[in-house]
């Protein structure tokens, strides 16, 4: 699902939407973050911090949780750039919100430090 390149050159391979391994990655500075989501390739670099969420509400008629969206976030200054892959609509949405209001106008946990002394870049193929 994703690959992290740390500032020391080490790579970390993430898991899948059900178990992303985000919280088990080494506590190192991220230089680049690469996601491959259903044919879309996303590359982020040069941000202060990175995070992601898997939106997985409980669907009563199905009586189970269902992954509905994957939200990739990159922080620069007081802004969070979000890349939201809506799995229901099969659509990638990008937007920008204020830091500490990144998910339903509330802060999130799980932010990982980024290498921000370079120009911020995001690329979607």
Domain boundaries, given as residue ranges, for the chain: 2-124
Residues of the chain above pLDDT 90, percent: 62
pLDDT attached to residue 60: 80
Phi-psi region of 26 (alpha: psi -120 to 50; beta: other; left: phi over 0): beta
pLDDT attached to residue 58: 78
Q: Return the biggest CA–CA distance within the chain.
A: 48
User: Residue 34 pLDDT > 90, yes or no?
Assistant: yes
Q: Counting every residue, how long is the chain? A: 125
pLDDT attached to residue 75: 96
- Asked if residue 31 lies in contact with residue 7, where contact means CB atoms within 8 angstroms, the answer is yes
61 vs 58: CA distance, rounded Å: 9
């Amino acid at each position: 699902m994703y690959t992290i390149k740390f500032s020391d050159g080490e790579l970390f391979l993430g898991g899948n939407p059900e178990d992303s391994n985000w919280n088990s990655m080494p506590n190192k500075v991220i230089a680049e973050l690469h996601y491959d989501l259903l044919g879309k390739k996303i590359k982020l670099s040069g941000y202060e911090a990175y995070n992601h969420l898997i939106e997985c509400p409980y669907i009563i008629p199905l009586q189970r949780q269902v992954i509905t969206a994957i939200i990739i976030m990159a922080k620069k200054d007081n802004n969070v750039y979000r890349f939201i892959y809506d799995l229901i609509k099969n659509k990638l949405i990008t937007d920008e919100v204020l830091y500490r209001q990144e998910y339903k106008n509330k802060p999130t946990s799980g932010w990982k430090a980024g290498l921000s002394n370079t120009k911020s870049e995001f690329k979607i193929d």
